[in-house]
Amino acid sequence: MATRGSRSKKVKRIFQQFDTNRDGGLNREEMAALVVVVNPRVKFSDEQINAILDEVFLTYGEFIDGEKGLTYDGLLWTYDDGAGDVDRDFDAVESKKGAEKRST
């Protein structure tokens, strides 16, 4: 059951997974990694990634914390807006983590 509580918990896990420098925001580099992982079947060009990031940072400007980038609240909003499927993205992130664990 996709309750709001389990949703935000999943978004939190996704956020923390990609906030690699742990500063509480997703900068362009971190967001780019997220976009790539949750779209495993898509081969993005740098231009496409840049266009997506421009769009996100423009649309969610009020959730951008300076150099840190998109905050957790901002990421939650992108899902509330239907920009991505939390469950699907969460599974993609988790399965990637599992694959990395197996390969080491």
- Where does this chain bind Ca ion (CB under 5 A)? 19, 21, 23, 25
Q: Residue 33 CB, nearest distance to Ca ion (Å)?
A: 10
Q: Residue 25 CB, nearest distance to Ca ion (Å)?
A: 5
Q: Residue 60 CB, nearest distance to Ca ion (Å)?
A: 15
In the complex with Ca ion, the residue whose CB is nearer, 47 or 62, is 62
- DSSP for the chain reads ---HHHHHHHHHHHHHHH-TT-SSSB-HHHHHHHHHHT-TT----HHHHHHHHHHHHHHTGGGB-GGG-B-HHHHHHHHHTTSS-HHHHHHHHHHHHHHHHHH-
